[in-house]
């Protein structure tokens, strides 16, 4: 049987969390469930698994690249362009630490911005599942199930407080 995507709309967080738990008990896996809401809801409140992201790895890579660039500015350029100044070190450490810190932070922030930008799939030109009620404060649970289980799951979610349960298709936004 073919899979169908259903949307269940909820007014509050508690019935939505109960519905996600019920979907798991009925055999719908977490990778086939997507929750959308107009306000950010922590994944723990809905009993969802921790979302996977690469932003922290990209930030760390940016910080390391920035530190290397800062070290190059501190020690590389004075040795490349030697300007003797009477009685002073060619690479003074205290101002060099400031440059090292600033380059580390700059590269880390740029890598974090780029990571969040790429991790959120922005811009996204593929069709997405959405309904305007989500912008009005409702919580939408999109899930895929077999067509023959559609009525059984819809009845179970209706008992838990779903306002509407309807099939949806991805559309260009």
The residue extents of the domains of the chain are: 3-52+127-167, 55-119
Weakest mean pLDDT among 54-63, 70-79, 131-140: 131-140
Residue 126 binned pLDDT confidence (cut-offs 50, 70, 90):
confident
Q: Stretch 4-14: mean pLDDT, rounded?
A: 89
Asked if residue 104 has pLDDT above 90, the reply is: yes
pLDDT the model gives residue 164: 87
Q: Stretch 132-153: mean pLDDT, rounded?
A: 87
Render 84-143 in DSSP notation, one character per residue: --TTS-SS-HHHHHHHHHHHHHHHHHHHHHHHHHHHTT-S--S-B---GGGGGT-EEEEE
pLDDT the model gives residue 83: 81
Q: Stretch 159-168: mean pLDDT, rounded?
A: 87
Here the tokens at position 92 are 């003074």
- For residue 162, give the 3-state DSSP assignment: coil
Q: How far apart are CA 9 and CA 24, in angstroms?
A: 17
Q: Stretch 85-109: mean pLDDT, rounded?
A: 90
pLDDT tens readout for residues 20-43: 999 999 988 888 898 888 888 888
Q: Domain 3-52+127-167 belongs to what topology? A: Alpha-Beta Plaits (3.30.70)
Model-level pTM greater than 0.75? Answer: no
pLDDT tens readout for residues 59-76: 999 999 999 999 999 999
């Amino acid at each position: 049987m073919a899979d169908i995507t259903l949307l269940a709309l909820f007014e509050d967080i508690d019935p939505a969390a109960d519905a996600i738990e019920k979907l798991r008990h009925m055999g719908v896996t977490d990778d086939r469930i997507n929750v959308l809401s107009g306000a950010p809801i922590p994944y723990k409140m809905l009993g969802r698994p921790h979302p996977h992201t690469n932003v922290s790895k990209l930030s760390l890579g940016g910080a390391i690249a920035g530190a290397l660039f800062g070290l190059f500015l501190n020690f590389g350029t004075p040795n490349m362009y030697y300007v003797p100044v009477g009685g002073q070190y060619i690479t003074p450490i205290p101002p060099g630490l400031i440059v090292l810190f600033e380059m580390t932070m700059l590269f880390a922030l740029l890598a974090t911005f780029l990571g969040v930008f790429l991790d959120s799939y922005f811009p996204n030109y593929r069709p997405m599942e959405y309904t305007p009620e989500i912008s009005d404060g409702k919580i939408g649970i999109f899930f895929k199930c077999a067509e023959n289980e559609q009525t059984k799951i819809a009845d179970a979610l209706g008992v838990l407080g779903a306002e509407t349960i309807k099939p949806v298709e991805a559309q260009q936004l």
